[in-house]
Amino acid sequence: AGGTWSIVSGGGSITGTTYTPDDINNDTTVVIRYTIAENGSCAATTDDVTFTVTPVCDVVADNTTST
C-alpha cells in the first residue's frame, strides 16, 4: 500500500514525495526516512537516506559588450 516520508534531521518539509529545504544558502545535511507500516504478519520497515543541500551559485550577469 506504500509508505510515508518523514524528516529525521536537517529541517525542511515534505509534501507527498517532494522535499523542500528550509534554507538553500547554507550547506545542510538532511536525513529523510521512508516508513512502511506493518501489514498482517509483515513487520514495519524503514529506510533512511542522507544527502546534503548545497547553496545555489551566486551568478551575476555583467554586460561588458561595447556597442
pLDDT tens digits in sequence order for the chain, 67 residues long: 689 999 999 999 999 889 999 888 889 999 999 999 999 899 999 999 999 998 877 666 666 666 6
66 domain-assigned? no
Coil/strand/helix, residue 66: coil
pTM over 0.85: no
DSSP secondary structure letter of residue 51: E
pLDDT value, residue 41: 93
Residue whose entry in the numeric block shows the C-alpha cell 533512511: 48
In DSSP terms, 4 is beta-bridged to 35
- Residue 26 is given by DSSP the state S
Q: Domain residues for 23?
A: 4-53
User: Side chain identity at 8, as an amino acid letter?
Assistant: V
Provide the domain count of the chain.
1
- Let me know: does 20 contact 40? Beta carbons within 8 Å: no
